[in-house]
Structure 1
Amino acid sequence: MSPDATPCESLAEFSGRICYMSFGDNQSPRTNADYIANLIDQGHESVLEHVSWTFLLTGVSRAFTHQLVRHRPGFSYSQLSQQYHDEADADFVRPYGLERYPTALQSWSKAMEAAKAAYAAIAGALEAQNQSLDTELSKKEQSRAIRSAARSVLPNATETKIVVTANARALRHFLFLRGAILGDFEMRAVSALIYRMLHSEAPSFVADFKIGILSDGLAVVEKV
């Protein structure tokens, strides 16, 4: 095992070597980076599934998370619930670069303000009505029903928070599919964060990827 390997990289190598008990005299002289590179080149990435990360994404939009949660194998999610969390003071994630187009930005801003006002009006009206009715719903379920109705007017731009747990193999697949979608600025920004996290803690896991900055000022993550 290479002394300069990170804990994440060492775990992946150990997992691979245990399959053949290739330790000691039976161990090849290659470095950890070479060992991991060979596994990836041969398509034997199952050992990378033993290494996982848990991280919190904030300041992202519901539009982004609708795409993110389509990645199922190797991923687990826990997201802010709009049924339990009052969104009366919700923030909205402005599309990247929209400030360069004043007419579009004005229309977007008005739509966000209207959505927030509608949310408050719907919630307020339903709360007032429920207080005057002898309902069969418990207080908890009344609150759920009210917020479910009110949230229906909230846009994809509504800011959310999500805890993600994913293994290295799944994250590599995510970067391959999502890191270089030029028209999806938010996805590219998050892909760059994930790449940098992996590169910092297990650089050999993403040695076959590269990151660059395009003329729009955002990063792009590509398979080499």
Structure 2
Amino acid sequence: MAQPRIYVLSRPSFENSELQRFLQDRELAWVESSGASEGEHLVEVCGRICYMSFSDDTSKMRYPNDVYIENLVKKGHESVLEHANWTFILDGISRAFTHQLVRHRIGFSFSQLSQQYHDESKANVVPPEGLQSEVKELWEASTSETIKAYRRIVELTDANKAIDLETKRRLRSEARSLLPNAVETVIAVTANARSIRHFLNLRGSLIGDIEMRQVSVAIYHMVTGDARALFSDFEIVDHSDGYPLVSHRRES
């Protein structure tokens, strides 16, 4: 079974030169934690802006970056995490999945392939994991027939050269209404770290939704590769069904 594919278009960035210019104008200084990523520096700096808690006095007690961010999360001060954003493409996923994904509106932006304008005659379908015997045969036969019907309507529409653009649009809409939720789609997503945390917490360990878990695992690897400290209370856990999930370690 093909896995959902993720392509990262942009990651959190941090312009240290601009921060230094700000600190100089304010007659402040800051000792950054070694080993922290750009996204992690960004979150810490935005957090320190709230209290102007910048200092280069190493004799004073100060949190290193990972501890500083961990403390923000523990205290529920996650608004600072909204400054770290990713833009990525999800491909090889079903419309059924994106119907769930786009319910996450706060902190998310979406641009999805249009079935009205894009010819879906050669579209693939994404079978649910675990289809067995008679159910699999029925599923494959049903999806095949609906896509055949879609193709026929598109053929009839394209063959009629006399129809105007709006009529063609209406007929294409009639055709797409036949397409099953299993049709493969592609969607561009922009999301901030706080919203991604909420998504992973809510969706990453849904036992009955394997496709959702697969995408959650892909997103987890994307964000932790760039800013591990922002997601240090999440982990990948193997499940007995053979598909991993994203688990949130809550404080006891």
CA distance in 1, matches of 2:49, 2:168: 53
Q: How high is the TM-score relative to the length of structure 1?
A: 0.92
Per-residue CA deviations over 1:37-79 (Å, capped at 9, x if unaligned) read 0000000011100000000000000000000000000000000
Checking the alignment, whether the CA contact within 8 Å between 1:211 and 1:222 is kept in structure 2 is: yes
CA distance in 2, matches of 1:102, 1:23: 64
Per-residue CA deviations over 1:91-135 (Å, capped at 9, x if unaligned) read 00010121xx1211111111111011100112223344x435xx5
- Asked if residue 15 in structure 1 is aligned to residue 40 in structure 2, the reply is no
Checking the alignment, whether the CA contact within 8 Å between 2:157 and 2:168 is kept in structure 1 is: no
Match of 2:128? Answer: 95
Count of residue correspondences: 216
Match of 2:25? Answer: none
Match of 2:161? Answer: 131
Checking the alignment, whether the CA contact within 8 Å between 1:92 and 1:159 is kept in structure 2 is: yes
SS at match of 2:128: coil
- Runs (5+) with no aligned partner, structure 1: none
Per-residue CA deviations over 1:154-177 (Å, capped at 9, x if unaligned) read 000000000000000000000010
Match of 1:207? Answer: 232
Per-residue CA deviations over 1:14-58 (Å, capped at 9, x if unaligned) read 000011111115774221000000000000011100000000000
SS at match of 1:160: strand
SS at match of 2:191: strand
Matched AA of 2:247? E
Q: How far off its partner does 1:218 sit?
A: 1.1
After superposition, residues 17-36 of structure 1 pair within 5 angstroms as: 17-25=48-56, 28-36=61-69
Identity of aligned residues (%): 52
After superposition, residues 40-119 of structure 1 pair within 5 angstroms as: 40-98=73-131, 101-119=132-150
Matched AA of 1:45? E
Per-residue CA deviations over 1:170-215 (Å, capped at 9, x if unaligned) read 0000001001110000000001111111111111111111211112
SS at match of 2:161: helix
Match of 1:171? Answer: 196
Match of 2:217? Answer: 192
Distance 1:12 1:150, change over 3 A: same
SS at match of 2:179: coil
Q: How far off its partner does 1:85 sit?
A: 0.2
Match of 1:158? Answer: 183
Matched AA of 2:183? T
Matched AA of 2:200? L
SS at match of 2:213: helix
Matched AA of 2:172? R
Q: How high is the TM-score relative to the length of structure 2?
A: 0.82
Structure richer in helix, relative to its length: 1
Checking the alignment, whether the CA contact within 8 Å between 1:127 and 1:146 is kept in structure 2 is: no
CA distance in 2, matches of 1:127, 1:9: 52
Match of 1:183? Answer: 208
CA-based RMSD of the aligned residues comes to 1.4
Q: How far off its partner does 1:142 sit?
A: 3.5
